[in-house]
Structure 1
Amino acid sequence: MRTEDVLAAIATGLWRWDNASGTVTLDAEAARLLELPVEPGTYPASVVRSRFHPVDWNEINAVVSLALAEGTVAEGRLRIVDDGGRVVRTIRSRSKPLAAGDHGTYELIGMLQEVAEPTEGTAAKTPITGDWRRSREAFLLDAGRALAEARSTAEVLRVAASLSMPGFSPDGLAIFGAASDRLTIIGHHGHQGAGEDPFSDMRLDTDHPAAEVVRTGRAVYLPNPEEYSRRYPTSWPLAQPLGRQSWAYLPLIVAGRTMGAWMAAFRHQVVFTPDERSVLTTVARMLAQALARAGVAESERELSLGLQRSMMPVLGPAIPGMAVAARYVPTGGGLQVGGDWYDMIPLPSGRIALVIGDVQGHDVRAAGLMGQLRIALRAYASEGHRPDAVLARASRFLHGITDTYEKADYSSPRFATCLYLEVDPASGGIEIARAGHPEPAVRMADGTVILRPTEGGLPLGIDPDSDYPTTRLTLEPGETMMICTDGLLETGGHDLDTGWARLREVLETHPDHASLEELADSLVQAVHGPVSHYTTGPLADRREDDVAVLLISRDGTAAREAPRRTAMTIAQAEPERISAARRTARELLHDWADPEQVDAAVLMVSEMVTNVLVHTDGNALLVAEVTSGDSEGPRRVRVQVSDTSDDLPHVRRPGELASSGRGLVLMEVLADAWGVDPRGEGKSIWFELYESAKTGAPDTMGGTGGG
C-alpha cells in the first residue's frame, strides 16, 4: 500500500508552504481538508489562507514565528471555512519551519489531520478559542503594565515573582544575568539561595540549561524530570531535591543581544504546548525589556548621585564666630544634576568667600559647565582677587568656553548668574559682587527681614568686558543672610515677587532658638513639602527647577532694641532701582504702628532719590535707620540721602502745573524733622519720623501706595 493511501485512510494530508515564493503545495488529502479540489497541486498562499478562520490564522502565524525562532515544531488547531464563511471542520497542523534566507523567509513542511469537533464543554479549553485565550490576553496586558511601571531591578523581580499565568503558573522563578563569560543569578523566587547553589555563578560553557540558553539564544523546555536528567546530568542532582516536574528556560533578549535567561519551574508536569510556549516567550520578552529599562535608570541614578557628590562640595571648616548652612535640591526627572551650585572658599587673607550660582539649563551640559565655572572661581578667589575682579575673570572664562562650544556646533552659548561674597569673620563685614543673580536677604536680630539691594552686572558669559561693582555691608551679631538661586523663589508657579513673599514669611517666623540647619530645612520645605533630607537625596518628580540656598549667621545676641540699619546706592544708570529703595523703606517699617506714616516715608524716599538723579550727575546713597523706642520717647526712623553735588536745595512754592519743586515742600508737611547738611564733597538731605501710637493700626506693612 502506498504512503499516500495510508495517510488518506487516517484523514491526514501533507503540505509544503513556501514563504519566499508565496505558494503552498498540497497532496490530494490536504487539498480536501482545506475545501479545495481533491487533487495534488500548488496554490497561491492567499487561496489557502482564505480557507482558515481569520482568528485562527493569526494564532497559527504567531506559533510558526515562535517555532522558527526556537527551532521546534509548530503545532496548532485551525478551523476551515467554506466559500460562505461557515466552519466545516477543524484540522490539526504539525509542521517544521525551516529558514530559507536571511530576510525572515521560511518553508513550512508538515501534515494536516482532521480532528473531531470539540463539544461545547471542551471548547473553552482549546488553545485557539474560548476563555483560555481571553484569560491569557488579560494576563499579558496586566503583566505588561506592571513590568512597564517597574523602576528598578528589585521591582522587576517582585513583579516577576507575582505573575500568575492562566492555567500553568510556575512556583519557582530565577533570573540569570550574563556578563562577559559568566552567568549569575540576579534574582529568584522559590529557588535555592545563591549561597547554596553552585550554579548561581557559573561559566557560560557549563552544562546547565540556563547557560545553553544564553549560548544559543534559544529556549529550552524540559517537560519532565527524565528529560532534565538525560540532557543535563551534571546539574540534575541539584534540581532534583526541589521536587519540580517541569522547567522552561527562556532567553532574555534586548536589541538582538541575549542579556540573560529566565527560568520558570512547575510542581506539576507541563506539556509546553505552542500556546503555553507563546505565553512564556512573551513574558520573557517583557521581562528583558523591563530589566533593560531598570538597568538604564539605575545607571543614571548612580551617575547622577556621583555627579552630585563630586560637584556639590560639603561646606568647609567652621568659620569662627559664624554659622553656615546650605542645601541643594536637583530638578526632577532624568539625571539628578543641573546648573545650580554653592561653594565656600578659604582666602589667603584669612577671609572666607561664599559663592552661589546658576548655569542656564538643567541638563548634563549645564552640570559640566557648572563644574568648570566652579573650579575657575575657586582658582581666581584663591589668587587673592577682589570680588569684582573674580567675577570679571569668571565672565571672560565662561564666555570663552561657551564660544568654543558654539563654534564646534554643539549648541548655543550659555550664561550663568552668580553672587560672590567675601566675608570678614572678625568684623562681620561683607563685600558683595553680583552677576544677574537674585539679591540677598537679611534677617535682622529683631526678626525684621529685608531684601538687601546690591549693585550688579550682567550674568557671566554674556559680555567678556562686563564690570561688577562691589557693595559693602556689615552683618551684625544675631543677623542672618540668605542667598539662593531663583529655583527657591519661582518653584510652584511663583514669580520673583510672590516667591520672595513666601520665603519672607518663613524667615520672619523662624524661632530665635532654632538652628540654622532647621531654617534651611524650613525654607526648602516651604517650596517642596516635607522631606527627610535635601542635600544629596532625590525628591519627588514634581520639582520644576534646581534649588540651591546658602545661609550665613553671625554669632552673638544683639539686644532686640538695637537699631535697624540699611544702606544702598542708586546709580544714575539705574533709575529703576528707585522702586527697590521704596520697597526697602516699607520692609524696614513693616511693624510701624501708623500706616500713613509708612506711606509718607516711602513717598519722601522716592522724592529724595529722584531729585538726586534728576538734578545732579552723581549717584544717590540712601542710609536708613530705625531706633527703638523707650520710656523717654517713641521709635524714630531717620532716612538720609547723600550725593556729591555742592548745590544746596531750597524750598520753592511751585504752581499747580509745575513738574518739580515739591520735594522739600512735602518734607515740610510730612516729616517731624528734616534738614540739609553740607559735606566736604556734596551734601545730604535727611528726614525723621517719630512713631505715633495709632489705635487699631496693623502691625505689618500696609498702606495705600507710596510713590
Structure 2
Amino acid sequence: MADRGANEHSLPDDWPADPDPILALNRIGSFDWDLASGLMAMDGQALAVFDMRPDEYDDNPETLSPRIPREEGRRLDEIVAEALKEGAENYGAYFRMRLRDGALRWTHTQGYIRRDEEGRPVRIVGLIRDATQELNDTTARSRRIDRRRREAGIVQSTTDALAGARTLGDVVEVLQDPLALERLGAVGIALGLLEGGRVRLRAAGPALRFVSEAVPIRLDEPFPITETIRTLTPRFIESRAEFDRRYPDITGHLWRSGIRSAAYLPLIAQGRAVGALAVLYGDDTRFGERARTLLIGLGSAIAQSVQRALFYEQEKDLAEGLQQAMLPRTIPAVPGAQIAVRYRSARAGRDVGGDWYDVIPLPGGHTGLVIGDVQGHDTHAAAVMGQLRIVLRAYAAEGHPPATVMARASAFLRELDTDRFVTCLYADADLTTGVLQVVRAGHLDPLVRAADGTCTRVPVPGGMPLGLSAEFGEAQYPVATVELDPGNTLILCTDGLVERPGDDLDDGFRALARLVREGPAEPDALADVLCADVDRRDGQDDVAILLMRRRAGATPAAGGRLRQHVAPEDPEALAGARHLIRAAVRSWGSGERADEIELAADEMITNALMHTEGSAVVTLRVLTGTDRRLRVEVEDTSSALPRRREAAEDGVSGRGLLLVDRLADGWGVEARGTGKSVWCEFVVPPGPATAGRGPYEERPGGG
C-alpha cells in the first residue's frame, strides 16, 4: 500500500479548493435574502455582476431597482411569487439588467427557498451570474444548427420536389422555381445536356438569354459548362475578375445579364456525364468548403433525376411511336363531313396502350367509324389492337352489316388465343341521310353535339366486349339507329377522356358534355380542347378521340341510292329500314309528300316479307328529268307477280298495293333474274340549288 501510494501523484496542499474562490473564478456571486426583514446580503462578486461597488449597496433590494428595467423586474417578481406560492424548492430566470453606462446585458439567477417546520418560506439563498457569453454561445450554436438544417433542407426539399418529376420539363420547372432559387441565393440556373457529343441548353432562362437553346454547343468550346462536362470536375467562379481572367469571350454577355459569379456542377449518373448544371449569382460569392459540399450534393441529386427523365422520355417516345405506327397513317376525306382524330398516351405510364380509332370507306358511299380499347397497357395490347383493327376494317369494307362486322371481329379475337378482351363501337354512317347504324361492344356510349352547342349522351344498346361475347356464346349485337342532322357532331372516345379519379362514369359524361358545349364547333379545334383537358388532368389512361361533324348544306352522293336489306321475321331490321326511309326522304327534300312516301314504302316492304320466303331489299333514288321524282324499289326473291285487289270489309290485308296505287304518281313491277322488283315514284319539289342534276340525283332509267 505504501509503495503504491508513493507512486501516485501528490495532491496540492490547497486541495480541495474552497467554494468561494471557485464561484469567484467563474464570475458567479451569491446572495442571502431574509424574507422576514426583507434584507438581502450580497457578496462582492454578486455586486460586480450588477456593476455596483460595495459602498453603493445597503442590503436593501430596492437599491437594485435602477439596475433592473421595470418590465424585467415585474417578470422576476412574478416568477419568485409563483415559486413561493406553489411550494417549489427553487426557481431560475434569465433577465436583462442595465449597466452603469446604460448598456443592457443578460443575467441569470438561481434561488433556493428555505422553509420553516410549517412550510412557510423564510429565506432564499442563491446565485447570480453574467449570462452574456452563455447566451451568445447558445445563439451562435443555434445559428449553426439552423444553418446546417437550412442547408440540408435545400437538398432535401429539392430532392423531394424532383421525386415527382417525370420529364425534363418537370425537372426544369423544379429548378427554376423562385423559392428554390431564393434558398440558394441564386438569380438563375442553366441546365446543359450532353446529346451526341454536343451540349444543348434545356433551361437557360432570362439570365442567359444570349444563348440559343436551339443551337447545340460543341463540347470542345471553351465555356465553363463544357469544361465541367469534359473534366467531370465542378467549377466555382467567385467574381467578375475571375470570369474575365478565365472566360473572356463570354464575360460581356454575363455582365449584361447581371451575373457575377457561378457554380458549374457536373451531372454524373452511373459513372458517365449526362450534362452540367450552372447555378448563377448576381454578386461576388465566396464558395467555402461547406457551400461547395452542398452544391455538389445538390448536383448529384439533380443528375439522378435528369437521367430518370431521359429514360422516361426515351421509353415514352418509343411507346408512342409504336402506338402511332399501328394507328391509321391518314384519315380518308369523307364527302359531306369534317373528321378529327386524336390519340394521347397516358402521362403516368410509359407502356404502349391499345386504344385506337379508324375511318373506313364502305360500299354505297357509306363511312365506317371505329373506336376501341384493348385491355392492358403493354406491347401485347398494342399487337392485339393492330391485328383487330386490320380485321375489323376488312370485314367492314366487304359490306357486311354492322352487327355481322362486330360478331366476326369477336370470333377472330377469340381465335387469337389471347386473354385480352376489347371494347369497341362501330358506326355505319350514311351522310346522304344522316343515319348512323351503331353497334356497341362493351364500349362507352357516343355523344352528339347539336348545331346550337347542346351536347347529349346517346344511349345505345350494347353487347359484351369483343372476345368475351364469342367465349360465352353471345355473339348477337343489337343495332341502334342514330340520326345526325346537318351541323351536328358525333363524338366517339375511349374511357380515358371520361373517367376522372373520384367521380363515377355519369359525372365524367356530364363533365365531358359541359366541355364540349363550351368548346368550339369546328372538330379539329374541339379535339384540341379535349386533349388539353386530358393533359391538364394528368391523365392516367390512354385516350383516343374521333369526331365527325356532318356539314350543313350540300348532301354528298352515296352511289346514287340508299339501299337496305330487311331480313324476314326480324322486327328490328324492319324498324331500322323504316327509320332509314324516313330520314332519307326528309333529307332529300320531299316536302309535304314525305309521309306518303314512307307509308307506300312500308306497305311494299311488308308485302314482300309476308308473301315471299326470303329477305327484301329496299332502294331509294332521286330521279331528275322533266320532274324531280323519288323512286322506291323493293326487291324480293319470288317470281310471282303481285296484283292489286280490294280488301274485304273485315279483312286485314289486301290494301297494300291499293294504297301504293292511290298515293304514288306511278308504280309497277319489273322481273329480275332472281325475283322481281316492285317500284313506285313520287313527284317531289325541286331540291335546293337543283337547276340541273343534283350531286346525288340520277337520270330516269338510272336503275
TM-score, length basis structure 1: 0.47
Bigger radius of gyration among the two: 2
Q: Normalization by structure 2: what TM-score?
A: 0.47
